[in-house]
Structure 1
């Protein structure tokens, strides 16, 4: 996900993760590099260990899938919200703080008011495994505070830029009350404005318990959403937010969730 320039790696830090250019598949995998590994939890695994009622949608029974949007809000987000409202589809928005949340408070407020999940995608989109612990904490906490100032509630979910995480990121996320959410399919919409291609890539990777990664800041993405929704409904999918996908389990701070 080439969003801005990547800082030079720090000496002595081991980074783990996947780029947004990779199609991620299969449940309960382990992210590993240079001997460091991060366990991930699949939605089905989280649900299997939980007790109680799931809420209005029970993904233990329904064929669920979660739409998620990164790096907004932007100029096209209101149009996206119109589409989601018309189709009665909830989504999860991983928002950037600087130049996004702070510039579009009314849109952030609307995302929350219309029943979508508001989540954290850092302050400036720095790769968290490449920066110092205090910088990681600032990247996450500044966005937490900015969102809470607008919505009255701090997020409980975050998505690390490029999906890159490690033990230090996980520990700081735990301290801040944030679970980490990766994905199962991406349309690589940062690399094309072809809405038909974005739709095709998304649908090709869609599966039960999937988490779809899109960006509402790129020109080709929002026009692709109606076709994605229409086809997935036709295939019998029920759209849910990430917390609904995990229910009756609760997202555990620090844990990395990935289908």
Structure 2
């Protein structure tokens, strides 16, 4: 059946406008542009429509004599409806709730430009890495953390591991598997640390300072600082994944340097030192990025095993990641291979499903679970740099004062910050979503029940007490003065020492006869594996074997 021009026009308009309107961010697009053949087809239809069709057309769609083409402004003046539309359009450019982005403009000061190009203040607008930094000053990625500036710290290249450049993809020690986790800490990180402790395994955490709307890692009202201190205290390696997970190729040199320095400031505020290892977000680091990281003294770390857990975060899909792991295990043996593996602790199935599968398989097949620094044969003193001051001293610090930065670029015994929470005028991003229901809330035995700094204490799921300041992870003498200083509930023993009830030891607290194991590690925790009972075991606070003396 052949349609008349009058009947065909609505169908043509629907055909050409549907795809455009469907992609509009707010459903308020003007009449769509007609591209290519669509414009010509419409002209042909109008030419044959006749007086009846033109008489029934909307006023602003009627033909205009060629001798007097109307401008947009003239049309708006002649039509009240268009005037209102124009006023709305002008109001929606920038400001507090208008359009923003390339070719449009920036939001009002302190506001965020969402990935879809609208101004606002909630996490949907402000969360890194998607908030448009150049068009929203309030974006999380534009918020500098409080703390001492680290940009003046000396950055010598120590050891034999590559700094900057094309980066590191492989471990060098046969039989080692260095499991790494990107993008955290997050809601699941505490439970992930529990799993690694239960298996006696080690990991490296490439930490992002302010992403996914979680807030800054040195915001002591949140659990992130506690997680990071626990990582160090339990022998894991902490590394940088930049401040807000931005794509280095889309930033100026100054913006990218801020991504590195701001994360250092937060690390130093929490620990008193900061990492020399980092992983570029999206694995993107072109020549300018490589040069910057070399100048700042960073080992650029990639990977050679990716189970793609981020693509399989579903109970029905996670087997795909297990299959990738199994294929790697089938094609390699500890005697002649090694792996540098990437995972992400922001994904539920990775933490609660894949991790147990990997660790069980890893140990069953004779591999060794290590940190990145260990698998590269890099001494621990090269993993971090001493920060400038490391925050103010406190009674929870292993020393009464913080030493000056090391002249060699490594770190000595230092303390973390004891800065109390501060009130900020910056927009507060929406906290991350609550943990998925049905996951058991684990009681962490390494959490302290008292705090010498109540203003900073935060009881968190899996995070421990943020007043814990762990030992500097290297060059500790293994004595009571260097053990992690943390208030703890205890019971008396006949030796005069107090028996631990929560797994902490040192400072007059013994592991002997405790349910956690008899060995007191150099970092001040009770256990029964070689990491607790080995060469650095503190014999004065337990037995350096797992049988009572």
Q: TM-score range by the shorter chain?
A: 0.7 to 0.9
- Residue in 2 aligned with 1:190? 310
Q: Does 1:101 align with 2:217?
A: yes
Query: What TM-score do you get using the length of structure 2 for normalisation?
Result: 0.35
Q: CA RMSD for the aligned pairs? A: 2.6
1:71 aligns with 2:180: no
Unaligned regions of 5+ residues in structure 1, if any?
A: 9-37, 48-58, 252-259
Higher relative contact order (CA 8 A, sep 6+): 1
Q: Specify whether residues 210 and 234 from structure 1 end up closer, same or farther in structure 2 by C-alpha distance, changes over 3 A only.
A: same
Alignment correspondent of 2:254: 134
Which of 324, 327, 345 is equivalent to 1:204? 327
Tell me by how many angstroms 1:39 deviates. Answer: 4.0
Q: How does 1:75-224 map to 2 (within 5 A)?
A: 75-98=187-210, 99=215, 101-102=217-218, 103=222, 104-194=224-314, 195-205=318-328, 207=332, 208-223=337-352, 224=354
Once the two structures are TM-superposed, the CA of residue 205 in structure 1 deviates from its matched residue by 3.4
- SS of 1:67's equivalent? strand
**Larger fraction in helix:** 1
> 5+ unaligned residues in a row in structure 2: which ranges?
1-127, 134-164, 384-549
**Helix, strand or coil: the match of 1:165?**
coil
Partners of 1:100 and 1:239 lie apart in 2 by 30
SS in 1 for 2:183: strand
Q: Distance in 2 between matches of 1:100 and 1:70?
A: 16
Give the Cα–Cα distance (whole angstroms) in 2 for the partners of residues 127 and 6 of structure 1.
Answer: 12
Structure 1 residues 225 and 213, CA, compared in 2 at 3 Å: closer, same or farther? Answer: same
Change (3 A) 1:162 1:202: farther
Whichever structure has more strand as a proportion of its residues is 1
Q: Say how many residue pairs are matched.
A: 207
CA contact (8 A) 2:247 2:281 kept: yes
d(CA) in 2 for partners of 1:85, 1:152: 24
The SS at the match of 1:214 is strand
Mapped partners of 1:7, 1:130: distance in 2: 11
8 Å contact kept, 2:206–2:238: yes
- TM-score by structure 1 length? 0.72
Aligned partners of 2:261 and 2:187: how far apart in 1? Answer: 25
